[in-house]
Structure 1
Amino acid sequence: EELLTQPKDDYITAFIQEVNPAQFITVGSIINKTVSLKIGQDSVGSGLKKMLDHNLQVMYVVDGQNKPIGLVKKEHLETSLKQEYVVDKHNKPIDLVKKEHLETSLKQENEDLMAIIETDFPIIDASAHLENIFHLYKQGFPVAVVDEEKEFKGMVEASDVVTSLK
């Protein structure tokens, strides 16, 4: 895998030109470590705040053993909270709803995430090769990556795969 991603000399570079890197690079080597939401700990409000803080459109939800059980979209969290606000270019709340007011309302919101999570989501083992991930993007979501114990390790977006194959 290292020879493909960081060839040491021109001989190796020439040799790997004929190799399909998707057959050798593992999903775990390009994983995006990311925040997740935890059932029983996070609410719809805290989930939206995490998404705003990390500039995410989708987040995975994990159970008490850190195993992914679904994902939530930012738009569904916003709809659930029935919040209307304007964000700046960094996706942070601005004046139409004062940031302090938004944060206060988010802290008070305790609606359960289970009502809005999508349980049909793409998932792959970190040891799988990239050639096995392409079909998982049909749903349009980042793919959840798990280890041998099925614990959530992060996610991989389609753009991450494309970048790793260049």
Structure 2
Amino acid sequence: MDEEGGSNDPGEASHGVLWSIRQELERHPVVTKARGFPSESFTEVVAEIAVERWGIGREDATLTVRWFTGETRESKPEFSFHYSDDKTDFGWHHEPNPHVDGWGHFQERSGAGEDDYSYEPFTFPSENPSRLVWEIMAHVSARIQSE
């Protein structure tokens, strides 16, 4: 039981958020498939992305989303939207990290993942999962089109 007298199951709450994120990703025009893992209680959602629809030639483009609502209803959610393909690997994370101040950051590495990540602070405009899907997908598009 939490402080408000109701039960709080963080796994169930996180699964519910990831289920709604999967639905939003499936609505996005460049997403060809989105699946939640494990199937009985999602801890992550992986979307396959057809970046050629943005006019970009890349292979194996995916967006992996993780979301943990926290132990209590008052906890800050920890989440990440992480993109990778055959040329790059980057993502937006909302979690404590020793490389940046605050919770939000962008991290990136180039190549086949052999380089270390570089980090920079990032402020999320919202913690609404559905809204974040569309905002992050816009950031992904802008980022890979600028490379």
Tell whether the structures are fold-level matches, with TM greater than 0.5.
no
Q: Which has the higher contact order (CA 8 A, sep 6+)?
A: 1
TM range (shorter): under 0.3
Higher strand proportion, which one? 2
Bigger-Rg structure (1/2) = 1
Higher helix proportion, which one? 1
